[in-house]
Chain A
């Protein structure tokens, strides 16, 4: 591949409501999302028939709660074991530190080409941009991620990044990348990508992967995948850099086996992913493949501060993506509208937290939910996402939310007093009567305007038949 692919991520300019409107207007996106969700739901139903999902979920919830409670101890053990196996471990406080470590390493080793397997942590730290800025060429090798990299887009789903595109859209992207005609059909597209990316595996100096779970007992990194690219990324280049959110550690192999069993069930509705790569240190001296150097980065990025708070359960997440598929909001607008590597319910919870409740996304994302609880039901580690969403809302400090709080303060003032409640009730009833025409209001002023932008309001109950 001679063509250099610039990776620049568009800044988010439009407010979230605007982005949801655009997504809703995109019929193609809607169809793709519906198909994706249906296929996931089918797999999940099959898994529920074959396994005692409730019992597995309960055990997994206990495992993850315990892991997070013992996090400092488990991380120390992990560090010690990875070092004993010949790897290098570095704790990095934030995105800058993580990216700088990798660009410094690349410079020190004279590296020019970096092959990446899918990793949410590297999305989170915006590694691609940092590598490009340092003059390195970086190529995503997961098919979906690669397609998005070529389109300069963010992933729309934790485990199925290009789920919002159809095969004709993908075909034209691949044709543009290679400068050659690409035959039609899914198989042909996959074969084409396979050939193009094998060049990258063969030539890459550094392979960068994420980590699904790390096992403290032996210092082993678990990387789960279906395509085989993560294995090639961690087997062929001389240097393997693994970037891991510091919360993704488990104590021992009994725990790891359980979570590795549950993860694909929740994520893809299968009882096994095609490949799980279990990596303990760099290659041994007598081995012919595998990296000569292994670097593990333990990323804090706002995680440590969540321990001991009422949001600690957010750290239990194993990033399966089930809450996304289960979420009516995510299904309606897709992941890209969220404008964060982490979308859906878990994204609406962790994005603000990892960003320290700063910025637009922090004030908007937690409110993109009806708190219906489908996410909690789908979560294989039992995270009470609907409660966490409320607790994140509590922490929002933007001027808009402060104004909203003022309104609710008035509400509380009135509705904690029965007489004032009755007075406002009389006002509201009167308002309804005034607004109604033959039992329905089509347009309301003030705070009701947003309601009637999309729906009528029955001003008499039970409502008169819709045709009247």
Chain B
């Protein structure tokens, strides 16, 4: 599953995800009929609208193959949000079935013992995105994959890595000042590690953090974990 946000604003992440998976010998199919997981509507308080979009995802990903998403937040929407949307409805069984085989990228790599080989060097700091951490309950996979796949990369943990960056979907535009303040704190914590770049498993957090960092003059480079993993010697 490509995420709508990456599809629009950062196709390089989708491309990187595909290369990482294929490099591990995984056959990758990106259904053309997919759109979005429906999370924007769900979290904004419009369940009927979200359901329409989520039904499209259920249809696009029918079958038994694992669904891999380069976003903790979108993966959590499927594994967690879909139960909220579809429990007690005709699609419940289908939603549960899809939830049961949907994994965020680093989870998928880690759980299947896959080791991409990344030529990345230098130092990074990692932001734990909230939905990854608390809805998927996943703190280890990104660190484990990073350590195994990119031995040339040193991880420097930042202070309060588990605190929300303040993006929060529509929250970021409903209460931009609060959101901005939290993004700034996150950017400062990341910059304070002295690491070369910030890495996360969610593009949404990264857009917000880097955007706030640039606005407030905090020097911070960032990329998605998939992009780091896909880096080859060339």
Interface residues of A (CB under 8 A from B): 16-17, 20-21, 24, 328-329, 332-333, 366-374, 376-377, 386-387, 390-396, 401, 404-405, 408-409, 411-413, 415-418, 421, 425, 428-429, 432, 440, 447, 450-451, 453-459, 461-463, 465-467
Contacts and interface: CB of A to CB of B under 8 A. Distances in A.
Given A332-B181, A393-B44, A428-B8, 17 more contacts: A17-B175, A328-B182, A332-B178, A371-B43, A371-B169, A386-B135, A408-B44, A413-B52, A415-B4, A432-B9, A451-B172, A453-B176, A455-B214, A458-B211, A461-B6, A466-B214, A467-B219
Interface stretch (B28-36, B107-115, B116-124, B147-155): B28-36
7 contacts: A373-B131, A412-B50, A416-B56, A418-B35, A432-B8, A456-B214, A458-B214
A408 B175 contact: no
B173 A451 contact: yes
Contacts of A405: 46, 49
Given A454-B176, A462-B222, A369 B211 contact: no
Given A328-B164, A409-B49, A454 B179 contact: yes
Contacts of B179: 370, 454
Contacts of A396: 45
Nearest to B130: A372
Contacts of A373: 130-131, 133-135
Contact of A372 (B164, B210, B222): B164
Contacts of A453: 176, 180
A447 B208 CA distance: 16
A374 B160 CA distance: 12
Contact of A458 (B4, B36, B131, B207): B207
A456 B55 CA distance: 33
Interface string B48-68: 111011011000100000000
Interface of B: 4, 6-13, 32-36, 40-50, 52-53, 55-56, 60, 84, 130-131, 133-135, 162-164, 166-183, 203, 207-208, 210-215, 217-224, 227
A387 B60 CA distance: 26
A369 B53 contact: no
A326 to B, nearest CB: 10
A20 B131 contact: no
A392 B131 CA distance: 19
A371 B33 CA distance: 29
A440 B222 CA distance: 14
Contacts of B218: 466
A371 B130 CA distance: 8
A308 to B, nearest CB: 14
A440 B214 contact: yes
A394 B46 contact: yes
A457 B207 CA distance: 7
A329 B163 CA distance: 11
Nearest to A462: B223
A425 B227 CA distance: 22
Contact of B130 (A374, A391, A461): A374
A368 B175 contact: yes
A440 B207 CA distance: 11
Contacts of A409: 46, 49
B177 A418 contact: no
A463 B207 CA distance: 9
Contacts of A332: 178, 181-182
Contact of A455 (B36, B55, B131, B180): B180
Contacts of B11: 461
Given A415-B56, A455-B215, A370 B130 contact: yes
B227 A416 contact: no
Interface-centre pick from A429, A455, A465 (highest chain B CB count, 10 A): A455
